[in-house]
Amino acid sequence: MTNGASNVVKKIQLNQRDRPSGIIWVQFDHSDVGEKTRHENRHLYVQGIESTWTPIKPVTTQFAVGRNQTAQVVRKQFPLRPAAAKTIHRSQGDTEQKIVVNFNTRRSIPHIHHVGLSRVTAIEGLFITDLCEDKIAVNPHVAAEMEHLRNERVLKLSVTPIYKTDQVSFKLCYLNARLLHKHIDDIRHDFNFANTDINIFSETRCMRSDNASMYDIDGYTLFRNDGHSLTTRPFGGMTVFSRVEFLPGYPCGFAQLFLGKYSN
């Protein structure tokens, strides 16, 4: 369990009502939180206690107080705090499916909007009650460092990208695509593949039922040598994208090569 983990109180079992005692059962927002505690206290789960609830017991802490730190105070309490919401600072490190955020504040806090808006896994789960746009701020040191990185700290690649090589050269690329239909958009937007004469992709796993338009790339002629399967995506497969005009009858698929071998 971690400090600040949000939960809902499900059941209170007190041994003595006038002092911290017994167990408060809570259900955390994320099922993995408290898993170890639930396992260690599995003997406490009786009828009426859900397996997803986590037992919270009182903890005792001793600390020094006073000007000279000579007095000792012992505090015993449940490590829980009632809350209707979290501050954005407290939510740092959280990942939620749905959140409601309110940025209403009297002063600008650098990057607080970034922290608040990035707690959710998808924009569909983000609900903003007050964006407070006039308080969006960036730390000036961060802005200066970003400018420094862009203009003075640009890393030089150890290899020359294809799009920066001699235009006179004939450029051919080969890549194990591992499911071309999942990566075709990445390939379309990659400057290296967009500056070649021929791109060859293996392990494409294309199906013969795939529409050719799924794999269109402007300026290239497409050739597919798909595997044989009607129900699931076949293993293997090869695809060629070429700016160079194919010779008549070429390229040919595996089946054509196999038949041609025995017809000559």
In single-letter form, the type of residue at position 248 comes to P
Residue with tokens 């450029």: 171
Q: Which pLDDT score is estimated for 169?
A: 78
Q: What is the pTM of this model?
A: 0.54
Does residue 112 carry a pLDDT above 70? yes
Position 142 pLDDT exceeds 50:
yes
- Taken in order of first residue, the domains within the chain and their CATH numbers are 1-60+75-83 (no CATH), 88-140 (no CATH), 162-259 (3.60.10.10)
For tokens 């499916």, what's the residue? 97
How far separated are the first and last CA of the chain, in Å rounded? 73
CA distance 47 to 62: 36
Q: Which runs of E-coded beta strand occur in 140-262? A: 172-176, 198-202, 221-225, 238-242
Residue 148 belongs to what H/E stretch? helix 140-151
Q: Is the pLDDT of residue 139 over 50?
A: yes
Question: Tens digit of pLDDT for each residue in 160-218?
Answer: 888 888 877 799 999 999 999 999 999 999 999 999 999 999 999 999 899 989 999 99
The tens digit of pLDDT for each residue in 67-109 reads 888 899 999 999 999 988 889 988 888 889 999 999 998 889 9
**Token pair belonging to 111:** 């990057």
143 pLDDT exceeds 60?
A: yes
